[in-house]
Amino acid sequence: GAVVSQHPSRVICKSGTSVKIECRSLDFQATTMFWYRQFPKQSLMLMATSNEGSKATYEQGVEKDKFLINHASLTLSTLTVTSAHPEDSSFYICSARDAVGGSPLHFGNGTRLTVT
Amino acid sequence: GQNIDQPTEMTATEGAIVQINCTYQTSGFNGLFWYQQHAGEAPTFLSYNVLDGLEEKGRFSSFLSRSKGYSYLLLKELQMKDSASYLCAVRTGGGNKLTFGTGTQLKVEL
Protein backbone atom coordinates (compact mmCIF):
# COMPACT_ATOMS: atom_id res chain seq x y z
CA GLY A 1 0.00 0.00 0.00
CA ALA A 2 0.87 3.66 -0.19
CA VAL A 3 3.63 4.68 2.22
CA VAL A 4 4.66 8.12 3.36
CA SER A 5 8.10 8.55 4.92
CA GLN A 6 8.96 11.47 7.16
CA HIS A 7 12.41 12.44 8.40
CA PRO A 8 13.72 13.10 10.98
CA SER A 9 11.52 11.44 13.56
CA ARG A 10 12.93 13.54 16.37
CA VAL A 11 14.92 16.74 16.44
CA ILE A 12 16.13 18.99 19.21
CA CYS A 13 17.39 22.42 18.29
CA LYS A 14 18.35 25.66 19.94
CA SER A 15 16.13 28.71 19.80
CA GLY A 16 16.82 30.82 16.72
CA THR A 17 17.96 28.00 14.47
CA SER A 18 16.08 26.52 11.51
CA VAL A 19 14.93 22.95 11.10
CA LYS A 20 14.00 21.14 7.89
CA ILE A 21 11.56 18.24 7.86
CA GLU A 22 11.20 16.01 4.80
CA CYS A 23 8.11 14.15 3.64
CA ARG A 24 8.38 11.57 0.88
CA SER A 25 5.81 9.45 -0.88
CA LEU A 26 7.64 6.17 -1.39
CA ASP A 27 5.64 4.29 -3.98
CA PHE A 28 3.33 6.84 -5.49
CA GLN A 29 3.33 10.37 -6.82
CA ALA A 30 1.66 13.10 -4.81
CA THR A 31 0.88 16.42 -6.43
CA THR A 32 -0.47 17.57 -3.09
CA MET A 33 0.80 16.97 0.42
CA PHE A 34 -0.50 18.32 3.70
CA TRP A 35 1.37 19.49 6.78
CA TYR A 36 -0.26 19.18 10.19
CA ARG A 37 0.82 20.19 13.67
CA GLN A 38 -0.31 18.49 16.85
CA PHE A 39 0.21 19.81 20.37
CA PRO A 40 0.06 17.39 23.31
CA LYS A 41 -3.38 15.89 23.86
CA GLN A 42 -4.83 17.94 21.03
CA SER A 43 -5.97 17.01 17.57
CA LEU A 44 -4.22 17.59 14.29
CA MET A 45 -4.36 21.12 12.98
CA LEU A 46 -3.78 21.68 9.28
CA MET A 47 -0.99 24.18 8.69
CA ALA A 48 -0.69 24.24 4.94
CA THR A 49 -1.26 22.44 1.67
CA SER A 50 1.89 21.79 -0.31
CA ASN A 51 1.43 21.93 -4.08
CA GLU A 52 3.99 20.45 -6.45
CA GLY A 53 5.49 23.14 -8.65
CA SER A 54 3.62 26.04 -7.09
CA LYS A 55 3.25 27.96 -3.86
CA ALA A 56 1.86 26.36 -0.78
CA THR A 57 -1.54 27.33 0.57
CA TYR A 58 -1.43 28.30 4.23
CA GLU A 59 -4.24 28.07 6.73
CA GLN A 60 -5.37 31.17 8.56
CA GLY A 61 -3.01 32.12 11.35
CA VAL A 62 -0.01 30.19 10.01
CA GLU A 63 2.96 32.39 9.13
CA LYS A 64 4.21 31.50 5.68
CA ASP A 65 7.55 33.20 6.26
CA LYS A 66 8.15 31.15 9.36
CA PHE A 67 7.02 27.80 8.01
CA LEU A 68 8.59 27.52 4.57
CA ILE A 69 7.23 24.78 2.34
CA ASN A 70 8.88 23.50 -0.81
CA HIS A 71 7.34 20.82 -3.02
CA ALA A 72 9.93 20.54 -5.76
CA SER A 73 9.08 17.05 -6.99
CA LEU A 74 6.12 14.69 -7.10
CA THR A 75 7.52 12.63 -4.23
CA LEU A 76 9.05 15.19 -1.87
CA SER A 77 7.79 18.08 0.21
CA THR A 78 9.84 19.86 2.85
CA LEU A 79 8.80 22.02 5.78
CA THR A 80 11.39 24.37 7.22
CA VAL A 81 10.71 25.93 10.60
CA THR A 82 12.76 29.12 10.51
CA SER A 83 14.11 30.88 13.58
CA ALA A 84 12.50 28.28 15.82
CA HIS A 85 11.27 29.23 19.28
CA PRO A 86 10.20 27.05 22.21
CA GLU A 87 6.53 27.62 21.35
CA ASP A 88 7.19 25.90 18.01
CA SER A 89 7.87 22.66 19.86
CA SER A 90 5.26 20.26 18.60
CA PHE A 91 4.57 17.08 16.64
CA TYR A 92 4.62 17.81 12.91
CA ILE A 93 2.98 15.30 10.56
CA CYS A 94 2.74 15.23 6.79
CA SER A 95 0.21 13.37 4.71
CA ALA A 96 -0.36 12.55 1.07
CA ARG A 97 -2.73 10.60 -1.10
CA ASP A 98 -2.18 8.44 -4.10
CA ALA A 99 -4.70 10.07 -6.43
CA VAL A 100 -4.22 7.38 -9.06
CA GLY A 101 -4.79 4.53 -6.65
CA GLY A 102 -7.71 6.20 -4.94
CA SER A 103 -6.39 5.47 -1.46
CA PRO A 104 -7.24 7.53 1.60
CA LEU A 105 -4.78 10.00 3.05
CA HIS A 106 -1.73 8.31 4.51
CA PHE A 107 0.41 9.92 7.15
CA GLY A 108 4.11 10.01 7.77
CA ASN A 109 5.35 8.89 11.18
CA GLY A 110 5.69 12.46 12.34
CA THR A 111 8.54 14.60 13.60
CA ARG A 112 8.83 15.52 17.26
CA LEU A 113 10.43 18.97 17.37
CA THR A 114 11.80 20.29 20.64
CA VAL A 115 13.20 23.80 20.71
CA THR A 116 15.32 24.62 23.75
CA GLY B 1 -16.38 27.66 9.71
CA GLN B 2 -16.33 24.00 10.54
CA ASN B 3 -17.12 22.34 13.82
CA ILE B 4 -16.42 18.71 14.64
CA ASP B 5 -17.24 17.31 18.07
CA GLN B 6 -16.26 14.06 19.75
CA PRO B 7 -16.25 12.96 23.39
CA THR B 8 -12.88 13.60 24.98
CA GLU B 9 -12.47 10.29 26.76
CA MET B 10 -14.14 6.89 26.96
CA THR B 11 -13.42 3.74 28.93
CA ALA B 12 -14.53 0.23 27.99
CA THR B 13 -13.86 -3.35 29.00
CA GLU B 14 -11.82 -5.87 27.04
CA GLY B 15 -14.11 -8.02 24.88
CA ALA B 16 -16.92 -5.48 24.94
CA ILE B 17 -18.32 -3.16 22.25
CA VAL B 18 -17.84 0.60 22.26
CA GLN B 19 -19.37 3.31 20.09
CA ILE B 20 -17.55 6.60 19.55
CA ASN B 21 -19.74 9.40 18.24
CA CYS B 22 -18.83 12.33 16.04
CA THR B 23 -21.04 15.25 15.08
CA TYR B 24 -20.09 17.83 12.52
CA GLN B 25 -21.23 21.09 11.03
CA THR B 26 -19.51 21.87 7.76
CA SER B 27 -20.16 23.23 4.32
CA GLY B 28 -19.27 21.28 1.21
CA PHE B 29 -19.21 17.89 2.95
CA ASN B 30 -17.38 15.29 0.88
CA GLY B 31 -16.70 12.35 3.15
CA LEU B 32 -15.90 11.41 6.72
CA PHE B 33 -12.86 9.47 7.89
CA TRP B 34 -11.93 7.70 11.09
CA TYR B 35 -8.30 7.35 12.11
CA GLN B 36 -6.62 5.61 15.04
CA GLN B 37 -3.63 7.24 16.69
CA HIS B 38 -1.42 5.76 19.37
CA ALA B 39 0.54 8.18 21.54
CA GLY B 40 3.53 9.64 19.73
CA GLU B 41 2.66 7.99 16.45
CA ALA B 42 1.01 9.08 13.23
CA PRO B 43 -2.68 8.37 12.61
CA THR B 44 -3.61 5.21 10.75
CA PHE B 45 -6.66 4.97 8.50
CA LEU B 46 -9.61 2.96 9.78
CA SER B 47 -12.67 3.76 7.69
CA TYR B 48 -14.33 6.11 5.23
CA ASN B 49 -17.99 7.04 4.68
CA VAL B 50 -19.34 9.32 2.00
CA LEU B 51 -22.88 7.92 1.66
CA ASP B 52 -25.37 7.27 4.44
CA GLY B 53 -25.21 3.90 6.08
CA LEU B 54 -22.90 1.45 7.73
CA GLU B 55 -19.46 0.39 6.51
CA GLU B 56 -18.10 -2.75 8.13
CA LYS B 57 -14.47 -3.78 8.18
CA GLY B 58 -13.64 -6.61 10.54
CA ARG B 59 -14.00 -5.53 14.17
CA PHE B 60 -14.53 -1.93 13.12
CA SER B 61 -17.68 -0.41 11.63
CA SER B 62 -18.52 3.19 10.83
CA PHE B 63 -21.90 4.79 10.29
CA LEU B 64 -22.85 8.05 8.64
CA SER B 65 -26.00 10.16 8.53
CA ARG B 66 -25.42 13.20 6.38
CA SER B 67 -28.78 14.77 7.17
CA LYS B 68 -27.98 14.67 10.88
CA GLY B 69 -24.30 15.54 10.55
CA TYR B 70 -23.52 12.45 12.58
CA SER B 71 -21.17 9.51 12.45
CA TYR B 72 -20.06 6.81 14.82
CA LEU B 73 -17.24 4.32 14.96
CA LEU B 74 -18.13 0.95 16.45
CA LEU B 75 -15.39 -1.27 17.85
CA LYS B 76 -16.28 -4.88 18.66
CA GLU B 77 -14.44 -7.50 20.70
CA LEU B 78 -12.26 -4.86 22.24
CA GLN B 79 -8.62 -5.66 22.81
CA MET B 80 -6.10 -3.92 25.03
CA LYS B 81 -4.22 -2.75 21.94
CA ASP B 82 -7.31 -0.77 20.92
CA SER B 83 -6.46 1.75 23.62
CA ALA B 84 -5.68 4.82 21.53
CA SER B 85 -7.06 8.12 20.34
CA TYR B 86 -9.73 7.92 17.64
CA LEU B 87 -9.97 10.87 15.30
CA CYS B 88 -12.98 11.83 13.24
CA ALA B 89 -12.07 13.88 10.16
CA VAL B 90 -14.26 15.57 7.56
CA ARG B 91 -13.30 16.26 3.98
CA THR B 92 -14.82 19.26 2.29
CA GLY B 93 -14.75 20.32 -1.31
CA GLY B 94 -13.09 18.43 -4.11
CA GLY B 95 -9.62 18.24 -2.67
CA ASN B 96 -8.07 16.06 0.00
CA LYS B 97 -7.96 18.54 2.84
CA LEU B 98 -9.22 17.02 6.06
CA THR B 99 -10.39 18.83 9.17
CA PHE B 100 -9.98 16.77 12.32
CA GLY B 101 -12.08 16.61 15.44
CA THR B 102 -10.47 16.82 18.84
CA GLY B 103 -10.15 13.05 19.09
CA THR B 104 -11.54 10.56 21.61
CA GLN B 105 -9.08 8.89 23.96
CA LEU B 106 -10.27 5.31 24.45
CA LYS B 107 -8.99 3.28 27.36
CA VAL B 108 -9.62 -0.47 27.32
CA GLU B 109 -9.51 -2.13 30.72
CA LEU B 110 -9.47 -5.74 31.86
Q: Closest Cα of chain B to A33: distance in Å?
A: 9
SS3 assignment, position B65 = strand
Please provide residue A87's backbone torsions phi and psi, each rounded to the nearest 5 degrees.
Answer: -70, -10
Residue A6 contacts residue A22 (beta carbons within 8 Å): yes
B39 CB within 8 Å of a chain A CB = no
Interface test mutation site (partner A, options B97, B104, B106, max chain A beta carbons within 10 A): B97
What integer pLDDT is reported at residue A103 of this predicted model? Answer: 66
What integer pLDDT is reported at residue B10 of this predicted model? Answer: 97
Residue A101 has pLDDT above 60, yes or no: no
Nearest residue of chain B to residue A99 (CA atoms):
B96
What integer pLDDT is reported at residue B42 of this predicted model? Answer: 86
Please provide residue B81's backbone torsions phi and psi, each rounded to the nearest 5 degrees.
Answer: -70, -10
What band does A33 get if pLDDT is binned at 50, 70 and 90? Answer: very high
Across the range B11-21, mean pLDDT stands at 97
What type of residue sits at position A30?
A: A
Cβ–Cβ of A97/B96 closer than 8 Å? yes
Cβ–Cβ of B87/A108 closer than 8 Å? no
Interface test mutation site (partner B, options A4, A44, A93, A103, max chain B beta carbons within 10 A): A44
Residue A102 has pLDDT above 80, yes or no: no
SS3 assignment, position B23 = strand
Residue A100 has pLDDT above 80, yes or no: no
What integer pLDDT is reported at residue B95 of this predicted model? Answer: 73
Interface test mutation site (partner B, options A43, A52, A107, max chain B beta carbons within 10 A): A43
pLDDT in tens, A42-74: 889 999 999 888 899 999 999 999 999 999 888
Residue A2 has pLDDT above 70, yes or no: no
Kindly state the DSSP code that residue A9 receives in the 8-state scheme: S
Which residue, A20, A22, A31, is CA-closest to A4? A22
B42, B97, B101 ranked by CB distance to A43: nearest: B101
What integer pLDDT is reported at residue B13 of this predicted model? Answer: 97
Across the range B47-57, mean pLDDT stands at 94
Q: Closest Cα of chain B to A9: distance in Å?
A: 10
Cβ–Cβ of A91/B40 closer than 8 Å? yes
pLDDT in tens, B56-99: 989 999 999 999 999 999 999 999 999 999 999 999 877 778 89
